[in-house]
Amino acid sequence: MDLGLEGKVALVTAGSKGIGRGIADGLSAEGVKVAVTSRSTERAEQVAGEIDGCGYAFDSDDLDAIPALLEAVQSDLGPIDIYVANTGGPPAGDPLSFSRAQWEAAQRSLLISPMTIIERLVPTMSERGFGRIVAIGSMAVTEPIDALQLSNAHRPGLVAAFKVLARQHAAAGITFNHVHPGRIATDRMIDTAGSLEAAQEQARKLVPAERLGTVEECAVAAVFLCSQPAAYINGTAILVDGGLTRSV
């Protein structure tokens, strides 16, 4: 299938590893000029060199850095056609153990930061008649996870915001969708479990597919949502969880 993305420009935040890196790789393979961000300039530039893109230092918690980031990407690559809102997950812990600073940081990185970027991108996307905005969420949006209270509380807010934006901007050719990963073999999942072997054993017991998902299996869903053929998919979410989620 021709995804119709040759020559498009994409911004993938937190694109230097894990699911973000998988999406950056997938978009690059489709001929997209990809800008990736990382907290580390060195890491961002290294990954960018591997996919013939551009790398930038950016922390989603730093709202004041957004204008300069977008200006740099558009100066280096051109107007942004695709925005993949991805970020490292907030800390896990007892639901009542988080500080005010942690609550506020989670709100900035999971909700305010992507919305601030979207506010700046939508006008130019609308002028060109094409835009793809995909957020990487979590299965916690549909089934809250006890240890991930910060995700439980903030990620659904972006889902609701996308429903409104999808309706308002569909006629301009802009789509707003989510990908909700389940248990994917990322560093975060492995670190939480203690080891890759422990994470795989947990998956064998809990996931109907009896294994962890791969980064590539999650990334392919996001890349498709960025495509031309996905133009009529708008305001929705795709679960990539091996059948783990029970809710309808």
Question: How many CA atoms lie within 13 Å of 92's alpha carbon, on the beta-carbon side?
Answer: 11
Per the CB < 8 A criterion, the answer to whether 19 and 27 are in contact is no
Q: What is the pLDDT of residues 91-123, one digit of tens each?
A: 999 999 999 999 999 999 999 999 999 999 999
Query: How, if at all, do strands 33-38 and 9-12 pair?
Result: parallel
Determine the 3-state secondary structure of 88 from DSSP: coil
Distance, in Å, from the CA atom of 139 to the CA atom of 134, rounded to the nearest integer, reads 15
Amino acid at 207: V
Per the CB < 8 A criterion, the answer to whether 60 and 14 are in contact is yes
- Split at pLDDT 50, 70, 90, the class of 10 is very high
Distance, in Å, from the CA atom of 238 to the CA atom of 240, rounded to the nearest integer, reads 6
Query: How, if at all, do strands 9-12 and 54-57 pair?
Result: unpaired
Q: What is the pLDDT of residues 52-106, one digit of tens each?
A: 999 999 999 999 999 999 999 999 999 999 999 999 889 999 999 999 999 999 9
Q: What is the pLDDT of residues 137-179, one digit of tens each?
A: 999 999 999 999 999 999 999 999 999 999 999 999 999 999 9
Per the CB < 8 A criterion, the answer to whether 175 and 147 are in contact is no
pLDDT score, position 188:
87
The DSSP secondary-structure symbol of 108 reads I
Looking at CATH, the fold of the domain delimited by 9-185+215-239 is given as: Rossmann fold (3.40.50)
Largest CA distance in the chain: 50
Query: How, if at all, do strands 131-136 and 9-12 pair?
Result: unpaired
Q: Which residues contact 197 (CB under 8 A, 6 or more apart)?
A: none
Torsion of CA 74, 77, 81, 86, to 10 degrees: -80
State pTM to two decimals.
Answer: 0.97
Token pair for residue 11?
A: 């911004």
